[in-house]
Amino acid sequence: MKITKVSTPPSDVRIYQHWDGPGHEDIENKLTTQHIEDVVEIFQTPLTGHYNWDYSSADGRIRKLYRLGKELNWNADMDVDWSQTFPKSEAPLDQSFNPFNGWSVFESLSDEEKLRFGWHNLAWTLAQFVHGEQGALLVASQLASCAPSYDAKLYAASQTFDEARHVEVFTRYLQEKVGIFYPVNPNLKLLLDKILSDPRWDLKFIGMQIIIEGLALAAFNTLQMTAQDPQLKQIIHLVIRDEARHVTFGVNYLESFVETLTEEEKEERAQFAFEACVVMRERLISTEVFEEFGWNADEAREQVLSSTIMVQFRNLLFTRIMPNLKRIGLLTESVRPRFEELGILQFENLVDDGQIDWAELSKPLYDEAS
């Protein structure tokens, strides 16, 4: 095993040897030794850990979520049918949701290039899921050490395993079924760095459990509706079950903790939550794909931002975050106008994830997907 240490994430798009879609002819020219190395980037974090010597359960809701996590574990090797293969000759996503429909630059592409764009765009989306899930894996492992309560430590440990499984299943799908792997988007990397390196355990919770996990859950639900590959739909179904527990855990645990903070401390966290939402809105734009196709990134970005479909989609992603931020007490008077400028304050009174639907969370894994 060779470990290569880098100061920044790799920027190349990786193409795997078995990729047989459009553009596969120059695979060999794109392969480098980097594809068979462990490429690592070091980050430093001043963690403050907590022993807990009580070992008694103080919150039955958190303990029940932990038990559900144990009961509903799934195995990516055994519970996903990897024998399925969706043809590369077909678009991987419902094209009626393509924000570039009607845009002259996109419409000037050949049918083959439009198809290649569709697969690259899916690859970019799934790669950001992988990178985000790795961030969640690292944060959950940190929380197992630094969360103060016994129940939270147990749950964080179970979530760490969930996140490892998500990294595994999305990576395998990208490598074996798509054949294209994009680097981490700089905006997502910026937020992950902030969350991982911050010494405050509750800020890690807010950044990961409320913002990133909340956005991911909405994005997964959208992808499940638009994906054409039944296998990808199956994977998303399994991941959604886990993510719903994670967000519910974050809201319930943070609600009582935020009440113990001073007004100044609450304000710090409210400002961080707002800034994280701004960053995550930018994360949703696949600039790296635009560059792969030689497009003007600013023009393509403007097309995405002005697309009715993408405006609706981007707003949909915040329908869970806003009521959750309100529930835990982080929609302070100073940030409310800023959220209103983003056009997402309107969602604050929707149902939050603090209201636990135990029947929904307890459903068998394949109750709706089989």
What are the chain's domains?
Answer: 3-361 (1.10.620.20)
Tell me what pLDDT residue 25 has.
47
Tell me what pLDDT residue 2 has.
81
Tell me what pLDDT residue 27 has.
44
Token output for 319:
């329908």
For residue 13, give the nearest of 26, 3, 84, 115 by alpha carbon. 26
DSSP-derived secondary structure letter, 13: P
Token output for 57:
């359960």
pLDDT digits (tens, 9 = 90+) for 7-37: 899 888 988 865 455 444 444 455 455 555 7
pLDDT digits (tens, 9 = 90+) for 170-224: 999 999 999 999 999 998 998 899 999 988 889 988 999 899 888 888 889 889 9
Buried b (16+ CB within 10 A) or exposed e, 318-349: bbbbbbbbbbbbbbbeebeeebeeeebbebbe
Tell me what pLDDT residue 31 has.
46
As a whole number of angstroms, the distance between CA 260 and CA 186 comes to 34
For residue 172, give the nearest of 208, 137, 140, 129 by alpha carbon. 129
For residue 35, give the nearest of 19, 51, 58 by alpha carbon. 19
User: Which residues of the chain fall short of a pLDDT of 50?
Assistant: 19, 22-28, 31, 369-370
User: Which residues, including other chains, have CB under 8 Å from residue 63's CB and lie 6 or more apart?
Assistant: 57, 151, 154
How crowded is residue 173: how many other Cβ atoms within 10 Å of its Cβ? Answer: 20
For residue 164, give the nearest of 66, 80, 84, 239 by alpha carbon. 239
